[in-house]
Structure 1
Amino acid sequence: MTHPIARHGRQKTPNPIALVGRFLVVAAAVVGVSGAAFAAFAAWSVSSEVQTVALAGDMAGPPAQISAIDGGVNLLLVGSDSREGQGDAYGDTEGNLNDVTMLLHIAQDHSSATVVSFPRDMVVPIPSCPDPAGGSFDAMSAQPLNVTLSYGGLPCTVLTVEALTGLSIPFAAEIQFNGVIEMSNAVGGVPVCVVDPIDDPYTGVVLDSGTHLLQGADTLGFLRTRHGVGDGSDLGRISSQQVFLSSLVRTMKSSATLSDFGKLYGIARAASGNMVLSQSLASPDTLVSIALALKDIDLDRVSFVAYPGTTGGDGVYAGKVEPLYDDADVLFAAIAADQPVVTADPGNTGVGAVVDPAAAAAGPASSAAAAPSTTAPADRSAPDATTTPAPDVAKSVTALPQSITGQTAAEYTCSKGNDD
């Protein structure tokens, strides 16, 4: 049975004893594990402040058990630029646009994970989306991806990305500015390398060359800066963000972070008042099960890539990003087949990032596999991400087209300042 789209609303405050009990169960499950971002996933569920929303097609069912989730995962993470309830620090800009849109895919056998970043300025078709107030919004043929959050909320962003990729996305989360700040504080900051100075008057980010422990508002500013990195484009910002994300994965892999109950509880409290979760993520068992699926994935099998696009077009693409659908088909065919992916050439990190000179001097970063092979382009209208691969068969690695930039979590990279 399909549930109607629900208005955002706060869940009832649980019994304090039950709340403590739930936290202890979640924390106990997480502490012995060494996955990438799962401590945050597990901790979100312990707070009474988390808001939930139903995605189109959400199905009711029994919660997962406290073990690695059975099969693969597609989870969409959306960063909102809404100022509502965020205080006076970010100005009084109205609206609610998705600043960041990222898709996490975990393979069926939990051997690899891929994170795809979608340019916020990329012009794409937007399907008809449910109106939270009732009814539905008309489909649109060409609009920037970042309007979907204001058009139909998180469910609309999910529907748009599903149509764009051909993948089913049952899990989704939306995080606001303060959530990013507080969660970076909770993990104790993330070390980020900057190879060229960053000076962005729009976000106030000023960073000299070198390694910086980013925390609090500095983290948010770094993730949001566009004019200060690469060529000043949305594509440059994505590659700079991937410098942060790969370092975050390495940081969260450390046993010190995962065994620190104070940090785990801090992450839970940080996320609670600044997130909207799909109802499919509201169960603590589901959150922990997804987390546990990441625990044994090697750093060189965690890939961060950008949806391919170009700038400098005209018409509806003037000043925006035009998607390269054929190249994207190669990426999503690999994801649908649960194949690990690598960039076409080592160091193809995009205009906002470069290989860390210190890492380059020490030798090439480990690759995801020795013999990459390309796959046939996918049919965007019908790929199935739920097919379980045959057991005991070594997977080939898909070498992506040159237009798809990115890196693995095993590669040490630096953000590149915009020197224009």
Structure 2
Amino acid sequence: MPSPRRSPRTRGVARHGRLRRRRPVGSLLTGLAAALAVLLVSGASLSAIAARQLTSSVTSVALGNETSVPEEGIGAMPGGANVLLIGSDQRDPGSAVDAGVVDGVRNDVNILVHLSEDHSQLTAVSFPRDLMIDRPACTGDDGTAHPAAAYQQFNSLYELGGVSCTVAAVEGLTGLSVYYAGMITFDGVIEMSNALGGVDVCVTQRIRDTDTGLDLSAGTHSLQGKDALEFLRTRHGVGDGSDLARISSQQVFLSSMMRKIISGGTLGSPTTLYKLASAALGNMTLSTSLSSPDTLVSLALALKDLTPADIVFVQYPVVDDPDQAGRVVPSEADAATLEAALQADQSFTLGDDAAGRGSTVDESVPAPEAAAPPAETSAPEAGATAPATKGAPTATTPATTTLPSTITGQTAAESTCSVGSSRG
């Protein structure tokens, strides 16, 4: 039977009790879109002075690994750069969000962003909130030391130790070094969607979710404000009602948002860009390593030539937890394949049948024009290391590989629809 993989760090005592259940406050994250928008603003359209203005009041936290950050910097990091983006259910006084009962702050959305060393691909890996893992020992944002513990739910990490402990867990799970991180709240999503003037999403059939208050008819809708947030939060209204369906439905929104930011003229409007960046940064906490204006500008310059086809959204591979209904554990073989590709800084494409539980191809939109077929290669083996040099593909440094279709996701260039469900 699959089970959570053990961290190489010291193990703690297993705790099998269920976490206290709440009315689902759901998950958002346009954190990826938020971060990319901020970075594109800083480097592509506004000066470093504007970046300093935008970051002057940003809250920052230390991850504890600052002394290990490579000197090359985020835009030239050997083997690519990794940034963890966290979407929390935090609501500050005066928040526009009034749904749900708050009994703690959870990291309900967790996306690991990997920017390849040659800046040709950006991969965004979503970790399910219901994923059970062995938590490594970590030091929280407030300096409190937390011992390792087995069989912990992923979305309990932020409440335990903030950004730092969430980063430590992702490093232990994937074998990747994560030197940069950011957290965004519900209100940041509302303000960002307003700054963009809405994001178009396609729905195959009615979505009705009494938990979030969302009620959308079949068709295409331009969502902003609380409507956008309700769409991102909805779980019972899409697919089979699982968190995995919600992740793929969120990818529908994020892909459309990225197409609008990159291809829809948004980058040509300094006013819109500044509003977008201000909305995101005003509702984010950044690691000290990421909060520097120079770092943001450096990353922006590394991202500026990406197209929607270069942005790949992937769900971290999981299977149902055999010990607890409603929870999931890593799918050992697929997780190892994905992690090996990221560790080796390997460019990859997704299989033909990679749609997730909550999305499907939008048949009304022509498929994006395919690039020239890559040389036939196989996925790297688990534990593979990044190539020492970049350049033309060789037998040991293949250009591109295709992941198994059991690893789900999509590129930002693909037009997809959320699979509605009235079960909510």
TM-score range, shorter chain: 0.7 to 0.9
1:30 aligns with 2:44: yes
Which residue number corresponds to residue 10 of structure 2?
A: none
Please point out which of 321, 326, 331 is paired with 1:324. 331
Kept in 1, the 8 Å contact 2:43–2:298? The answer is no
Q: How does 1:9-408 map to 2 (within 5 A)?
A: 29-31=43-45, 46-59=54-67, 69=76, 71=78, 72-85=80-93, 87=95, 89-254=98-263, 256-311=265-320, 313-315=321-323, 317-345=324-352, 347-359=353-365, 362=366, 366=370, 369-379=373-383, 387-393=387-393, 395-408=398-411
Provide the rounded CA distance (Å) in 2 between the counterparts of 1:92 and 1:257.
Answer: 36
Q: After TM superposition, what 4+ stretches of structure 1 lie above 6 angstroms from structure 2?
A: 60-65
Kindly state the Cα deviation for residue 69 of structure 1 after the two structures are TM-superposed: 4.5
* Counterpart residue type for residue 237 of structure 1: R
When residues 26 and 364 of structure 1 are mapped into structure 2, their CA distance, relative to the original with a 3 A threshold, is closer
Kindly state the Cα deviation for residue 294 of structure 1 after the two structures are TM-superposed: 1.6
Provide the rounded CA distance (Å) in 2 between the counterparts of 1:99 and 1:368.
Answer: 38
SS in 2 for 1:393: coil
Kindly state the Cα deviation for residue 295 of structure 1 after the two structures are TM-superposed: 1.9
Kindly state the Cα deviation for residue 372 of structure 1 after the two structures are TM-superposed: 5.0
Provide the rounded CA distance (Å) in 1 between the counterparts of 2:40 and 2:199.
Answer: 24
Provide the rounded CA distance (Å) in 1 between the counterparts of 2:357 and 2:68.
Answer: 44
When residues 363 and 89 of structure 1 are mapped into structure 2, their CA distance, relative to the original with a 3 A threshold, is closer
* Counterpart residue type for residue 393 of structure 2: V
Kindly state the Cα deviation for residue 173 of structure 1 after the two structures are TM-superposed: 0.3
Kindly state the Cα deviation for residue 188 of structure 1 after the two structures are TM-superposed: 2.0
Please point out which of 394, 397, 416 is paired with 1:413. 416
Kept in 1, the 8 Å contact 2:59–2:284? The answer is yes
Kindly state the Cα deviation for residue 200 of structure 1 after the two structures are TM-superposed: 0.7
Kept in 2, the 8 Å contact 1:300–1:366? The answer is no
- Which deviates further from its counterpart, 170-179 or 393-402? 393-402
Gapped regions of structure 2 (runs ≥ 5): 1-38
Provide the rounded CA distance (Å) in 2 between the counterparts of 1:62 and 1:309.
Answer: 32
Kept in 2, the 8 Å contact 1:369–1:397? The answer is no
1:279-306 deviation digits (Å, cap 9, x = unpaired): 0111111112112212223332221110
Matched residue pairs, number?
379
Kindly state the Cα deviation for residue 259 of structure 1 after the two structures are TM-superposed: 2.2
Provide the rounded CA distance (Å) in 2 between the counterparts of 1:355 and 1:373.
Answer: 26
Kindly state the Cα deviation for residue 50 of structure 1 after the two structures are TM-superposed: 1.1
Which residue number corresponds to residue 19 of structure 2?
A: none
* Counterpart residue type for residue 378 of structure 2: T
Provide the rounded CA distance (Å) in 2 between the counterparts of 1:301 and 1:266.
Answer: 25
Q: Alignment RMSD, CA only?
A: 2.8
- Which deviates further from its counterpart, 254-263 or 164-173? 254-263
When residues 89 and 48 of structure 1 are mapped into structure 2, their CA distance, relative to the original with a 3 A threshold, is farther
- Which deviates further from its counterpart, 267-276 or 324-333? 267-276
Kindly state the Cα deviation for residue 370 of structure 1 after the two structures are TM-superposed: 4.0
Kept in 2, the 8 Å contact 1:332–1:378? The answer is yes
* Counterpart residue type for residue 95 of structure 1: G
SS in 1 for 2:189: helix
Kept in 1, the 8 Å contact 2:62–2:164? The answer is yes
Provide the rounded CA distance (Å) in 2 between the counterparts of 1:203 and 1:107.
Answer: 36
When residues 349 and 81 of structure 1 are mapped into structure 2, their CA distance, relative to the original with a 3 A threshold, is same
Gapped regions of structure 1 (runs ≥ 5): 1-24, 34-38
* Counterpart residue type for residue 52 of structure 1: S
Provide the rounded CA distance (Å) in 1 between the counterparts of 2:410 and 2:52.
Answer: 27
Kept in 2, the 8 Å contact 1:368–1:397? The answer is no
Provide the rounded CA distance (Å) in 1 between the counterparts of 2:381 and 2:246.
Answer: 27
Provide the rounded CA distance (Å) in 2 between the counterparts of 1:189 and 1:161.
Answer: 32
1:173-221 deviation digits (Å, cap 9, x = unpaired): 0000001111111222211111121111111111111111111111111
Provide the rounded CA distance (Å) in 2 between the counterparts of 1:389 and 1:146.
Answer: 37
Kept in 2, the 8 Å contact 1:127–1:138? The answer is yes
* Counterpart residue type for residue 403 of structure 1: T
When residues 159 and 222 of structure 1 are mapped into structure 2, their CA distance, relative to the original with a 3 A threshold, is same
When residues 114 and 363 of structure 1 are mapped into structure 2, their CA distance, relative to the original with a 3 A threshold, is closer
Provide the rounded CA distance (Å) in 2 between the counterparts of 1:123 and 1:60.
Answer: 28
Provide the rounded CA distance (Å) in 2 between the counterparts of 1:28 and 1:133.
Answer: 30
Provide the rounded CA distance (Å) in 2 between the counterparts of 1:314 and 1:61.
Answer: 39
* Identity score, percent: 47
SS in 2 for 1:348: coil
* Counterpart residue type for residue 393 of structure 1: P
* Counterpart residue type for residue 377 of structure 1: E
* Counterpart residue type for residue 188 of structure 1: G
Kept in 1, the 8 Å contact 2:374–2:399? The answer is no
When residues 70 and 243 of structure 1 are mapped into structure 2, their CA distance, relative to the original with a 3 A threshold, is same
Provide the rounded CA distance (Å) in 2 between the counterparts of 1:74 and 1:368.
Answer: 28
Provide the rounded CA distance (Å) in 1 between the counterparts of 2:172 and 2:116.
Answer: 20
